Structure 1
Amino acid sequence: MRIDWWTIGLQTVNVLVLVWILSRFLFRPIAGIVAARQAETAKLMESARAARAAADREREAAAAERGRIAASRSDQLKSAAAEGDREKTAILAAARAEAEKLRSEAEAEIAKSRKAADAEAEKRASRLAVDIAGKLLARLPREAQVTPFVDGLAEALSKLPPASRASLDEPGAILVKAPRALDAAETAALGDALGRALGRKPDIRIETDAALIAGLELEAPHAIVRNSLRADLDRIAGALTGTGAGHAG
């Protein structure tokens, strides 16, 4: 077989020219298109990765916010529960204090009422005792109702303050109360005793008052002298009931 080198050479040249033409007008544009497509694809993929990263960050932020909200809500619930417990404790304490106050006031009122009732009972018992004593003393003999009290009246009169005694020097009779009418001897004895106490013979006006039981009482505008069983009983009743009673000169 005979090789035609010229033909081979021409074909080779044709192939080279064809390759050059293809590489210049076909391969390069295609390579550029492929490179651009690859670059666009890479850009899209980078954008997708960035979007996914942004989405992940947003999900993480949302999860963190949900956690923060849940924690805040839990704290608020705990705070509200604690506040409720404090209010309940305060309300219970106030209720207990009010109940204790009402109980104390009730006990004080009961004690006050009991004390008042006891005092009233004591007063009634004292008045009854005094009344019984008065009725018993009212049975004294006639001669014991006046004479034994004359000197005591004169002595009490002599102990009056000077101003009170001076008021007895004013014009007018001195009123002397007695449980019964006095006879002449009793009237004279009374006048003598009062005269010694006053330093002068007084003008006496006798007035009967059976409530005295026994004894004598002198009354003037500025002086009162009581020396009678009624005055003694009144003083005893006053001491027993704590009210005080009677006047003494």
Structure 2
Amino acid sequence: MRIDWWTLGLQAINLLVLMWILSRFLFRPIAQIIAQRQAAADSILNEAKSAQEKAEAAEQQAHKMADDAAAARQGLIDAATGEAEKEKQALLSAARAEADTLRNTARKEAERIRQSEAALAEDRASRLAVDITARLFERLPPEARIDGFIDGLADGLVKLPQTTRDELGAAGSRVTLKASRALSKAEEQSIHTALTKALGRDLAFTVAIDPSLIAGLEIETEHAAVRNSFRNDLNRVVHTLTERGDSKDA
């Protein structure tokens, strides 16, 4: 197996540069946006608290009305007390119901905002990461987008279950090999040699160009998928960062 140390070194440097750029120009603005949305949710909760305070004030007013009625109408104390109690209970029930409704609404709105911001952050991160990586890879030799990923693709085939490996290219069928750019004859031969060695038999394939891979190779069939591309690596990084953010919010 031939290891291109220059390619691996450049890929490592590009990855470090990418992570630095993401940390400086992506996650800080996203954190600010989330903080703004959190402030909006806090405002809704404050409104709910205000409604609760109004309910408590209404309760105090009901008590005062009952006391005033008892003092003013000593002779009719039993009837006045009964009426005041009924009115107090009605006011309390209405105020509590309103406060509960506002609290539930606030909780639902806060959760909706959090989920919306998480989805938006993941989408922005994915788009920005893909764009930055594509620009970085434009500076590398074209060979680096393919050669450094052949062995990883072959290792992925080796790790598939035996039944799945047996189905690949069965009965002389051809599998689709996705590449980030058009392959040279030498590259196709290198890939064919590596895949044949991994499966222990010949594997015919048809090349499909997919620039969105950025760099790398992928094989995808009806029952299996082996991905060794920079796009797949970026998707996993974004997914991991998003999961960590959700865990902290919880």
The TM-score bracket by the shorter chain reads 0.5 to 0.7
Q: State whether residues 169 and 204 of structure 2, in contact with CA within 8 Å, keep that contact through their aligned partners in structure 1.
A: no
Distance (Å, rounded) in 2 between the aligned partners of 1:117 and 1:222: 33
SS in 2 for 1:227: strand
Distance (Å, rounded) in 2 between the aligned partners of 1:176 and 1:125: 29
- 1:238 paired with 2:239, answer yes
Partner of 2:152: 152
Question: Could you tell me which amino acid in structure 2 is paired with residue 160 of structure 1?
Answer: L
Distance (Å, rounded) in 2 between the aligned partners of 1:135 and 1:141: 13
Question: Could you tell me which amino acid in structure 2 is paired with residue 174 of structure 1?
Answer: V
Q: State whether residues 177 and 208 of structure 1, in contact with CA within 8 Å, keep that contact through their aligned partners in structure 2.
A: yes
SS in 2 for 1:187: helix
Partner of 1:122: 121
Change (3 A) 1:200 1:113: closer
Partner of 1:201: 202
| TM-score normalised according to structure 1 size | 0.60
Q: State whether residues 181 and 208 of structure 1, in contact with CA within 8 Å, keep that contact through their aligned partners in structure 2.
A: yes
SS in 1 for 2:183: coil
How well do the aligned residues superpose, as a CA RMSD in angstroms?
2.4
Change (3 A) 1:95 1:81: same
Q: State whether residues 178 and 218 of structure 2, in contact with CA within 8 Å, keep that contact through their aligned partners in structure 1.
A: yes
Partner of 2:11: none
Question: Could you tell me which amino acid in structure 1 is paired with residue 187 of structure 2?
Answer: E
Q: State whether residues 167 and 221 of structure 1, in contact with CA within 8 Å, keep that contact through their aligned partners in structure 2.
A: no
SS in 2 for 1:175: strand
Partner of 1:71: none
Match runs of 1:45-56 below 5 Å:
none
Match runs of 1:159-238 below 5 Å:
159-171=159-171, 172-238=173-239
Q: State whether residues 130 and 231 of structure 2, in contact with CA within 8 Å, keep that contact through their aligned partners in structure 1.
A: no
Distance (Å, rounded) in 1 between the aligned partners of 2:143 and 2:204: 24
Distance (Å, rounded) in 1 between the aligned partners of 2:188 and 2:142: 15
Distance (Å, rounded) in 1 between the aligned partners of 2:81 and 2:228: 80
Change (3 A) 1:224 1:121: closer
Distance (Å, rounded) in 1 between the aligned partners of 2:234 and 2:216: 12
Q: State whether residues 212 and 230 of structure 1, in contact with CA within 8 Å, keep that contact through their aligned partners in structure 2.
A: yes
- TM-aligned CA deviation for residue 204 of structure 1: 2.2
- TM-aligned CA deviation for residue 105 of structure 1: 2.2
Partner of 1:87: 86
Identity of aligned residues (%): 33
Distance (Å, rounded) in 1 between the aligned partners of 2:169 and 2:120: 46
Distance (Å, rounded) in 2 between the aligned partners of 1:223 and 1:120: 28
Question: Could you tell me which amino acid in structure 2 is paired with residue 211 of structure 1?
Answer: S
5+ residue gaps, structure 1:
1-73, 243-249
Aligned residue pair count: 169
Change (3 A) 1:169 1:143: closer
Instruction: Return the index of the structure with the highest Cα Rg.
Output: 1
Partner of 1:8: none
Deviations 1:211-236 (A, max 9, x none): 21111111223211111111112223
Query: Which portions of structure 1, spanning 4 or more consecutive aligned residues, are displaced by more than 6 angstroms?
Result: none
Residue range with higher mean Cα deviation, 111-120 or 208-217 = 111-120
Deviations 1:65-87 (A, max 9, x none): xxxxxxxxx99944322221221
Distance (Å, rounded) in 2 between the aligned partners of 1:124 and 1:221: 27
| TM-score normalised according to structure 2 size | 0.60
Distance (Å, rounded) in 2 between the aligned partners of 1:148 and 1:110: 47
Question: Could you tell me which amino acid in structure 1 is paired with residue 124 of structure 2?
Answer: A
Distance (Å, rounded) in 2 between the aligned partners of 1:204 and 1:157: 14
5+ residue gaps, structure 2:
1-72, 244-250
Distance (Å, rounded) in 2 between the aligned partners of 1:154 and 1:137: 25
- TM-aligned CA deviation for residue 153 of structure 1: 0.2
Change (3 A) 1:120 1:92: same
